[in-house]
Structure formats: structure tokens, C-alpha cells
Amino acid sequence: MQADIIVVAAGKGERMGRELPKPFLPVGGLPLLIHTLRAITQSSLIANIILVVAPEREALCHDILRAHGRFHVPVTVVHGGAERQDSVRLGLAALDTTSEIVAIHDAARPFLDREILERSIETAALHGAALVAVPARDTIKRVGEDGTVVETIPRQQLWLAQTPQTFRVALIREAHARALAGGVVVTDDAALLEHWGQVVKIVPGSYRNFKITTPEDLLVAE
């Protein structure tokens, strides 16, 4: 069972506060994006990579791929949109018509394990939708606008969503089309399926697969 993967890299990186968006920042001497693509291409289950970038970064992206990106998997570069959800939808539109399973992954998560990616593909093939997640380690509080604790949320049932999130293509396309028509905005793809009452299976992930979001994360990544 092979799958395609959409790598979303079209964000602005506002929380990082740098001129360049995160996928183009150097980590260990290489652009972050290259680490992520190398991790993905460890798996022989990946047939095609759709790389979603902002139009104004397309030239830079091609330069980086030319310099560092000798992959055995074809990489197609497409333009993203204003929100992550738009970037994913535009990536889905670029999939080949024969594509059956698609993984969606943040470019900002370079520490993806091959085993976890492959488990998410197998789970999506079986159940339709797979979400890589880790159990919450800290106690989580709901806090009011005034900065006082409203409640403690029992930790046993809390998981932190990561990517990849992997789906049967028809299912995730339909979910995105319905979201667009209905004005539904969410922060991850699995949430769109949950919104329509679809089963989403958890694939236990790894804390290493964290998302690089702030300058501190970049230090940890180094």
C-alpha cells in the first residue's frame, strides 16, 4: 500500500519572528524543509510528495531543492493559501487522480520517524483516518480571561495532535469541500472529519516529533 504526502510549508512563521518562514531557516546547516523531506523519503511507502509553499517563496524553494534535494521520490511544488486549511486543500487538489491514501504533514516537524509515518498509512488504509498523537504529559488547566483557573481537565483522556494525519483521499477531499462550503475553520485535518462524525484512529506518536514554532524550539532542534 503506497501513499502520497502533502507537506505544508506555506505559513508565515509569525511566532518564530524571523524574516524567512520556518521551513527555510537553517537547522544543523540545512534548511529545515530538507530535514523533513529526508525523513519522509526514508519510507518506501511514499510515492509522491506535494510540497505546498507561499507563491513568494516558490523561487527560494526551487533553489533549495536544487541545492539539497536529490530524492528518489518526485516532488511537486504548489502554491498554498492564507490559512493552513487552505494550503492543505490546495495540496489535495494537486494529487494524482489515482491517489488513494494521503498523509498530510507539517514541514515544521523534521523529526518524523519512518515507523510512525508507515503506521499512519496502514491505519488510514484500514480505518479511513489516522491521527498521530501523544498523551498529554502535563496537567492541563482551562483558564479564564482574567488569568484564574476555571478547571483542571482530567489528563487520562487528553492527547496532543501531531502530524502526519493520514486519510483515504476521497474522505479528506469531501471533508475539505464541505468545510469550504460551510465556512468551517479548524486547525487540523482530523478535526474536519470529527466535525462530520467520522471515526479518526489514533496512532501513538513520539515526543521527538514536535513542531518547531518558537525560537526556543529551533534551539532544541539544533
Residues that bind ligand CTP (CB under 6 A): 8-15, 21-23, 52, 80-84, 87, 106-108, 211, 213
First to last CA, the chain: 34
Closest residue to ligand CTP using C-beta atoms? 11
Pattern 11-30, Mg ion, x by CB under 5 A: x-------------------
Is the Cβ of residue 114 or residue 211 nearer to ligand CTP in the bound state?
Answer: 211
Task: Report the partner that residue 82 touches, choosing among Mg ion, ligand CTP, none (CB closer than 5 to 8 A by kind).
Answer: ligand CTP
Residue partners of 111: CB distance under 8 A and separation at least 6: 35, 39, 206, 208, 209, 210, 221
Binding characters for Mg ion, 110-139, by CB under 5 A (x = yes): ------------------------------
Between 101 and 191, CB nearer to Mg ion: 191
Q: How far is the CB of 12 from ligand CTP (least distance, A)?
A: 5
Cα(188)–Cα(207) distance, integer angstroms: 18
Write out the three cell numbers for 33.
524543509
DSSP 62: H
Residue 41 makes CB contacts below 8 A (sequence gap 6+) with: 49, 71, 72, 73
Order of strands across the sheet with 159-168? 75-79, 46-53, 3-8, 101-106, 159-168, 129-135, 201-204
State the minimum distance, in angstroms, from the CB of residue 222 to ligand CTP.
18
Closer of 38 and 127 to ligand CTP (Cβ): 38
Q: Where along the sequence are the contacts to Mg ion (CB under 5 A)?
A: 11
